[in-house]
Amino acid sequence: MLIGLFDSGVGGLTVLAACRRALPGARYLYLDDCANCPYGGRTGEEITALACDCADVLIRAGCDAVVIACNTATAAAASVIRARYPDKTVLGIEPAVKPALAAVKGRVLLLATPATAALRRYGSRVIVGAEPRLAEEIERAYGDPEALRALASATLAKYSGYSAVVTGCSHYAHLIPYIPCPVFDGADGVARLLASKFAGRPSAEAEAQ
């Protein structure tokens, strides 16, 4: 069983890690569309076209399932990709706003790309932080803990009055170790869903024999 994931960059690696924990027997193929990063400031049509190209590459490579490891591409293109590949499992990642609101009293800070932030009204308990450059800055800081720590504190310093953070872009999950309050990320949710769909299928080792 081969699971394909894609994102505009290193963000989806956090989703890949969660999927590997939840479904360790599968093989994984990760497509990093860094040539077109960032997705978050593009129009819905542009994001959909890029996301479909990524899904096409993964399906042509033989993937049994596609995980859209990007909140921005999920919102723009999940339904289009599902319609394009009706016989494949296509999963996407969404901001974990509901679990955050259920778990904490008070307000939560949703950090997201402008495309994801503009998607819907989140209600009065959600402070929406649209971050036009943060994904790109995380691309540059990836692998440098001090730079990631500095990005996390500079970002959080812009907002107040929240008791938890929702990482609404998979790139932002790389900041989680440096966020000093509860954080709700969507990666484990999509990984659990993947595991529930494929648990019991032959493992990569069994397929190789």
> Which residues are annotated as catalytic?
70, 169
Q: What is the DSSP letter of 110?
A: E
Which class for 35: exposed (0-12), middle (13-18), buried (19 or more C-beta within 10 A)?
exposed
Contacting ligand DGL (CB under 6 A), which of 90, 116, 151, 194? 116
Q: Are 172 and 11 in contact (CB under 8 A)?
A: yes
Closest CB 54 distance from ligand DGL, rounded Å: 12
- Measured from each CB, the residue nearest to ligand DGL is 40
* 3-class DSSP state of 202: coil
Name the one residue in this structure whose structure tokens are 């929406």: 128
**Please, which residue, 25 or 142, has the CB nearer to ligand DGL?**
142
Q: Are 194 and 67 in contact (CB under 8 A)?
A: yes
Q: Are 7 and 170 in contact (CB under 8 A)?
A: yes
CA 28 to chain centre: 16
Site string for ligand DGL, 120-139 (x = CB under 6 A): ---------------x----
Contacting ligand DGL (CB under 6 A), which of 170, 179, 184, 189? 170
Q: Does 7 bind ligand DGL (CB under 6 A)?
A: yes
**Please, which residue, 48 or 116, has the CB nearer to ligand DGL?**
116
Binding interface with ligand DGL (CB under 6 A): 7-8, 11, 37-40, 70-72, 113, 116, 135, 169-171
